[in-house]
Amino acid sequence: MNGMCYQDFRAFLAVLRDQGELVDIDRPIALKYDVAKALAKSSSVDGPALMFRNNGTAFPLVAGLFGTRRRALIAFGADDLTIHDRVRKGIEQPIGPVDFEGIPPCQDVVLTGEQIDLARLPVPIYSPKDGGPYITAGIVISENPETGIPDIGNYRFQIHGRDRMGVFSAPNHRFGKNMAKATQMGVPLHGALVVGLDPMTALSCQVQSSDKTNDWFVAGGLRGAPVALANAVTSSLKVPAYSEFVLEFTVDTVDQQMEGPLGEYTGYYTPATLKPTAKVTAITHRKDAIFQGLLTGKPVTENHVLKQIPFEASILRQLQTQFPTIRDVAITSSGGVQVYVVIAISPRYAGEARQAILAAMASNLHPKWIVAVDPDIDIRKSAEVEWAMSFRVKPRQDVFIVDGTAAAPLDPYTDGGYSSAVGIDATRPFGVEFPEVSEVPGWRDFDLPEIGRR
């Protein structure tokens, strides 16, 4: 099945189940810590996503859907050779949304007022040091209060009470900017936290784009079909009609509460601080709705896999407009899919690799480490990158530091929000004769059936 064809969350789950990539757990599993233990255990053996059917609530909880790159590729309907072209074409061929006619599936059940109770949802506590239960797989829909341009993004929400959640967004992210703009204008910011979306819409919110981008067009491009949107119940927002859950809310920047800690993509806990809250104005969901969880923390977790393909494809697209001989980009999980970037490039002139490194430093990833290598290096194998750094680098002339660069969000070790970045040109010296690589020729195509029987 092509990833563009998934109408909804359930269609994706069905394909994963058919391919042995989703397993049901019917015995009791506690939302407090044990869900996270089960996810970590499955991840450690490259195992399947898990459906926790007996979790103490009326709703099944599924998690680990993007716990491996293999499942992310299933979502896209691609493989490692075609994935970046697949994403690029989706970005470059946007498709606008359409209005859903009638009552959408996401509003089969509508809860407002005293009916709202977040404790009825299967929201895990992933770690004993977390500040409380966290919705980590939710996609936030908000609009720029000045321009009306919609944004969809993946942000964390801590459950504070029956109808209150703690809100966190880095100030340089669009949701954070929308909150700041609404506060400046003195108007309320409405939002919707959506859980359980078709995979392309969920993955589209990781694509790196400008503040002027209407994200519904990006999602439609990746799907190859428009996203069907319905009117929210308590605001003028549009929400995906086939969502499993929609939590509508307004942001309160005055009534701030302590939010955190939470183990984040850096692999470290973010400290608890005062942050805005979200007042839930409605919970709507499908009949027999399925909730979604997502484990984050020390790499590699599902959070990193979810971001990696869209990040790589969109940054590659940006860099290739200036440097067309860049073949590929890897944004490593070990660096939180943020701070460690490897670029495969065939330099056309002396110094071009360095220029490409500087361009990557200037991207909104804000990486600390950028390595440029020749295309013969497999940039997703650390041993090959280290080999290039070991024998194609003169540190005095090929390693450089740029000071005063912006830091990646939540980086625990910066200078007041600023950092420095290291560039390493590990390409062969341009225009200089270099030794030939010593490698056994033809081994990839050599027939050796004996090892297949081991």
Alpha-carbon span 237 to 41, nearest angstrom:
39
- pLDDT at position 297 is 87
Residue 132 and residue 119 in contact, taking contact as beta carbons nearer than 8 Å: no
Q: Which residues of the chain have pLDDT under 70?
A: 1-5, 452-454
* Residues constituting the chain: 454
Alpha-carbon span 94 to 106, nearest angstrom:
24
Residue 340 and residue 265 in contact, taking contact as beta carbons nearer than 8 Å: no
CA angle, 119 as apex, 25 and 8 as ends, to 5°? 55
Residue recorded with tokens 């044990």: 34
Residue 384 and residue 412 in contact, taking contact as beta carbons nearer than 8 Å: no
Residue recorded with tokens 């920047």: 253
Residue 20 and residue 240 in contact, taking contact as beta carbons nearer than 8 Å: no
Cis ω on the peptide bond leading into residue 97 (within 30° of 0)? no
CA proximity to 229, closest of 237, 239, 244, 219 = 239
Q: What is the DSSP letter of 250?
A: E
Cis ω on the peptide bond leading into residue 300 (within 30° of 0)? yes
Alpha-carbon span 61 to 54, nearest angstrom:
9
- Farthest-apart Cα atoms in the chain, separation: 76
Q: What is the DSSP letter of 410?
A: T
- pLDDT at position 416 is 78
Domain boundaries, the chain: 3-293, 322-426
Token readout for 65 is 């859907």
Residue 227 and residue 201 in contact, taking contact as beta carbons nearer than 8 Å: yes
Residue recorded with tokens 């954070």: 176
Residue 369 and residue 331 in contact, taking contact as beta carbons nearer than 8 Å: no
- pLDDT at position 2 is 43
Residue type for position 134 = Y
- The tens digit of pLDDT for each residue in 315-356 reads 999 999 999 999 999 999 889 999 999 999 999 999 999 999
Alpha-carbon span 55 to 403, nearest angstrom:
49
Class of residue 26 by CB neighbours under 10 A (exposed 0-12, middle 13-18, buried 19+): exposed
What topology is assigned to 322-426 in CATH?
UbiD C-terminal domain-like (3.40.1670)
CATH class of 3-293: mainly beta
Q: Is the dihedral of CA 4, 5, 8, 12 positive or negative?
A: negative
Alpha-carbon span 76 to 80, nearest angstrom:
11
Q: What is the DSSP letter of 230?
A: E
- The tens digit of pLDDT for each residue in 225-258 reads 999 999 999 999 999 999 999 999 999 888 899 9
- pLDDT at position 173 is 86
- pLDDT at position 320 is 95
CA angle, 288 as apex, 193 and 134 as ends, to 5°? 35
- pLDDT at position 211 is 83
- pLDDT at position 1 is 38
Q: What is the DSSP letter of 311?
A: H
User: Residue 402: what are its φ and ψ, rounded to 5°?
Assistant: -110, 120
